[in-house]
Amino acid sequence: MTTPEQPKLLSGGNPQIAKGYGDAPVQAYIAAMPGWKSAIGRRIDEIIVRTVPGVRKAVKWNSPLYGVGAEDHWFLGIHCFTKYIKVSFFKGASLDPIPPGTSRQKEVRYLDIHEGEFDEARFTDWVKQASLLPGEKM
């Protein structure tokens, strides 16, 4: 049973957070990430905020999104799975080097972060690059 302070975890441990814009819903999602994923979620958020001045945040479809520029245009999203965190770079095919995870969508590339395997320097570089590309409208 969950309380209002404890969001329900969906299959794979992804927190169920109501759609919302701004930092508060993203922080609620991060706080609800299970186990080691919450600490990595905080680091991901800190890196993005430090790297992308004025970054916009939202939670849609139970996933935090980060964007710059036009409203509802996003460059990155995160999602919890049972054994890893999936980072979606919505224009990832344009990054150098290209993130390793492929997608059925031509432009999207993924980074799966497993426990103890977060390369902050590489991630920071991809965030910098991704934030300069046109965002994906969602």
pLDDT tens for each residue of 22-81: 999 999 999 999 999 999 999 999 999 999 999 999 999 999 999 998 787 999 999 999
H-type alpha helices, the chain: 23-32, 37-51, 120-131
pTM of the model: 0.91
User: Would you state the structure tokens that stand for residue 105, as one six-digit string?
Assistant: 């969508």
CB 20 within 8 A of CB 58: yes
Buried b (16+ CB within 10 A) or exposed e, 19-39: eeeeeebbbbbbebbeeebbe
User: Would you state the structure tokens that stand for residue 80, as one six-digit string?
Assistant: 């919890």
CB 109 within 8 A of CB 94: no
The pLDDT, as a whole number, for residue 1 is 42
**Assigned CATH for 11-133:** 3.90.1150
Task: Express as a percent the part of the chain with pLDDT over 70.
Answer: 94
